[in-house]
Structure 1
Amino acid sequence: QLDRLVGLTMLIAATTIFLYYTIWTLFMPFVDQPHFSHAFFPPRVWAIRIPVILIILFTTVIGSFLSVVMIRSNRRKALKAKK
């Protein structure tokens, strides 16, 4: 029961983020600047900065995790080889 709730929550969050970003990047350039809907979105330059920052962050985290795993694996192999 809890896993369905978590899955549904994640699905709703992902859909909301996708729709917000899609509206922001694809539809808002065609809306006049003084329109009130522009108040709900940050400046357009952030439409590129946010994904780039997230890609760099996630790549760094994944690379660090893989590096730690590989270093630990090589240490274990070296200890076994010494014995």
Structure 2
Amino acid sequence: MELADKTVGLLLCVISLSLFTYYTFWVIILPFVDTDHFIHNYFLPKEYALLLPVFAGVSLFSLLSVFIGYVMVKSKRKSA
């Protein structure tokens, strides 16, 4: 099982590093490249640079809130 855990950890690190590199290039470097350059074909429109992280943050916060509420209700039932 230890090898599977290491493989999953490596996969998560590679995905995270890839997303970080893509987003950093998209937000910081791409605005300084001419708009008719071919590299713009590989990136979403600029409007999504703010919308995607906000949506991800709101989704994460909502899921965490639901999980914490579920745990609190479940623990209250056990003690009653």
Q: Name the TM-score, length of structure 2 as normaliser.
A: 0.92
Task: Give 1:8 shift.
Answer: 1.2
- Structure number with greater Rg is 1
Please, which moves more after superposition, 31-40 or 4-13?
Answer: 4-13
State the identity as a percent: 35
Measured against aligned partners, the alpha-carbon deviations of 1:10-60 in whole angstroms (never above 9, x if no partner) come to 111111100000000000000000000000000111000000000000100
Quick one: which of 9, 12, 21 aligns to 1:10?
12
Quick one: which of 31, 35, 38 aligns to 1:29?
31
Instruction: Report runs of 4+ in structure 1 exceeding 3 Å deviation.
Output: none
Q: Name the TM-score, length of structure 1 as normaliser.
A: 0.89
Quick one: which of 45, 54, 57 aligns to 2:56?
54
Count the aligned residue pairs: 78
Residues 56-71 of structure 1: pairs in structure 2 closer than 5 A: 56-71=58-73
Any stretches of 5+ residues in structure 2 without a counterpart?
Answer: none
Any stretches of 5+ residues in structure 1 without a counterpart?
Answer: 79-83
Cα distance in 1 for residues equivalent to 2:78 and 2:6: 39
